[in-house]
Amino acid sequence: MWSNKRLLVRASIAPSPQIAWKKSEKLQKDVRVAVLGASGYTGSEIVRLLANHPHFGITLMTADRKAGQSLGSVFPHLITQDLPDMVAVKDADFSEVDAVFCCLPHGTTQEIIKGLPKNLKIVDLSADFRLRDILEYEEWYGQPHQAPELQKEAVYGLTEISREDIRHAHLVANPGCYPTSIQLPLVPLIRANLIQLKNIIIDSKSGVSGAGRGAKEANLYTEIAEGIHSYGITKHRHVPEIEQGLSEAARSKITVSFTPHLMPMSRGMQSTIYVEMPSGVTVDDLYEQLKVAYQDEEFVVLLGKGNVPHTRHVRGSNYCLMNVFPDRIPGRAILISVIDNLVKGASGQAVQNLNVMMGLPENMGLKYLPLFP
């Protein structure tokens, strides 16, 4: 938990005017952060966001294949940042660390987190702790869970939905990008019994950065450009995560039809969701429920009636824009939700979650407005 007293004592130091700004900035960053997997897209996005965070300072970064290198040599857009060189995870010293962002691939994260000091606050951006049922994890990810005892204490970190649980958590499982864009509009409507629990159809589209930074033939420019690519049809690994969140909101089992698509853009995500309404429920009822649910939220914005959310209006930001529209088919509605898959869909939500865990305002380090054009 953050201590204002600690900040005031440190801020009382008064060095010479020329260096006062730099020193006070460093002294105020009393939460010492490690970024594991800093050479990937989500890791580098964590670094970008923390550059303007008043209290989180990076003291450790790991990247096994890039060990010994500076982050600026891997990501030139971050060359201005004063950061430690990256080291291999096995060589990492956590004695000067308070909190960890784990940006490693699924399957490798469980053992690493299991071996971390118990006093650390951890936000895991992989899928390893998102599914509460470890047998379901094994079914969808093809390997047994290596830390079932940690899975029991992990809190699913959809911030606007699970804020109070996150506040007291030691380990937060940061949601996937698709599940974030889908659950934010659907959970309040399901809880209010305003949509049918059957025949939910979800059509989602993502920028290529969602596939990670690894070299893959399918992600080459000539393979991706000038086309739309459906993938993971009926078997995408985010399906159980989506259904878990929606089923908990409904307190009964929900099965959805979900198809993701890869779009020829670097970042951005849109989910178009088709739902049925119970007799007597209107699209205006859905709109008013979403308005009530998110009227006090900074990062989830319900647009004015009739306005269509666009991915270009959230690029580089932690915002989720959404709206609801009447379908031509009576009794049905269409929900549209957009996020930046690397920010609200990953690193931004991770920072938001650690802010909550540390007792800080949620928007710290996240006041980036969308980039347009």
Active site residues: 177
- Cα dist. 346→92, 295, 350 in Å? 23, 23, 6
- Other CB atoms within a 10 A radius of the CB of residue 354 amount to 30
In this structure, the chain runs to a length of 373
Question: Distance between CA atoms of 42 and 346, rounded to whole angstroms?
Answer: 7
Question: What is the Cα–Cα distance from 273 to 196, expressed in whole angstroms?
Answer: 13
> How many Å apart are CA 261 and CA 109, to the nearest integer?
26
Cα 126 to Cα 175: distance, rounded to the nearest angstrom: 8
Contact status, residue 244 vs residue 157, Cβ threshold 8 Å: no
State the amino acid at position 43 in one-letter form.
G
> Residue 254 corresponds to which tokens in the numbers above?
């929900």
Are the beta carbons of 264 and 208 closer than 8 angstroms? yes
Judging by DSSP bridges, how do beta strands 300-302 and 269-276 pair with one another? Answer: unpaired
25-31, long-range: CB < 8 A, 24+ apart: 25/54, 26/57, 28/54, 28/55, 29/53, 29/54, 29/55, 29/56, 29/57, 30/6, 30/55, 30/57, 31/2, 31/55, 31/56, 31/57, 31/98, 31/99, 31/358
